[in-house]
Amino acid sequence: MRPLHGRDQDGVWRIGPVRLLAVVGVGYLIVVLALAALTAGVDSGSSADAGSGPEAGASAPESSTPAGPGEGTAGESAPVSPAGKDVRVGSVENRSAPPRPSPSPSTARPSVAPPPAAPPPPPVVTSYEAESPVNGLAGTRTFTCSGCSGEKKVGYIGRDMGALQFNGVTARTGGTASVTLTYVNGEGPRVGHISVNGGSPIVLTFPGTGGWSTVDTMTITVALRPGTNSLRIFNPHEPAPDFDKITVSVR
């Protein structure tokens, strides 16, 4: 019978089952402890490398929960507290004011107001006396009139008597002109026809003035040509009033 352990008669080393199990168990325990130690060492090295590598201080993934008032956004590194003061990440104390854009100088030139337009020349006002010898006085008569300029007037105008024509009415450039007729009418309304440069007459009704030495005026607008113009007063049907003068305002 062979021994349970030790060398047999052939010189071969033999171990019994019990001891074999003990040896195997001890070897397994050593392997487990070695693996555990090795795993612990690897974990420690990884932690150290993670703390000192270029990724150290990387911000944690952004939380889906919104930051409350005064809290910093996820991923910001904690600032260094000056002089031990507690500064919260994202607080007003730790934020720098955004730079204000510098105003760009205006390149537009200031608008220059145009010079004021020159005022129009004042109108030229000229009076023409009815009794002037340059006028056409055929069939008329000149009377004394205390209320008239020059104390004279021209009558007997109209109804197969005569017509009064003012000659030499001057306009520098032509155009419209304002003509004021100064007349005398001691009766009821009388009608006069006014023709400029032989054109179609303007028919006017002249109210009474209250006496044959009392004057009144009536103003009309007519078209004059440049240079000399004529203005004729007549009535082919009935008497017209007497006339003292006309005053022409033209530019």
DSSP 76-111: PPPPPPGGG----TT-GGGPPPPPPPPPPPP-SPPP
Average pLDDT over residues 51-74: 46
Residue 157 within any structural domain of the chain = yes
130 and 38 both lie in a single domain: no
Residue 90 within any structural domain of the chain = no
pLDDT in tens, 42-54: 555 555 555 544 4
128 and 243 both lie in a single domain: yes
Most confident of 6-10, 56-60, 199-203: 199-203
Q: What is the DSSP letter of 149?
A: G
142 and 235 both lie in a single domain: yes
**Closest to 187 in 3D by CA, of 203, 171, 209, 161:** 209
Average pLDDT over residues 210-232: 97
Domain ranges, residue 29: 14-43
pLDDT confidence of residue 63: 46
30 and 140 both lie in a single domain: no
> What's the CATH code of the domain at 219?
2.60.120.260
Q: Does the pLDDT at position 218 exceed 60? A: yes
pLDDT in tens, 152-183: 999 999 988 999 999 999 998 889 999 999 99
pLDDT confidence of residue 222: 97
Number of domains in the chain: 2
The alpha carbon of residue 212 and the mean position of all alpha carbons in its chain are separated, in whole angstroms, by 64
Residue 9 within any structural domain of the chain = no
Residue 212 within any structural domain of the chain = yes
pLDDT confidence of residue 57: 44
Per-residue b/e over 80-103, b at no fewer than 16 CB within 10 Å?
Answer: eeeeeeeeebbeeeeeeeeeeeee
128 and 232 both lie in a single domain: yes
Residue 149 within any structural domain of the chain = yes
Q: Does the pLDDT at position 98 exceed 90? A: no
| Residue 41: pLDDT band with limits 50, 70, 90 | low
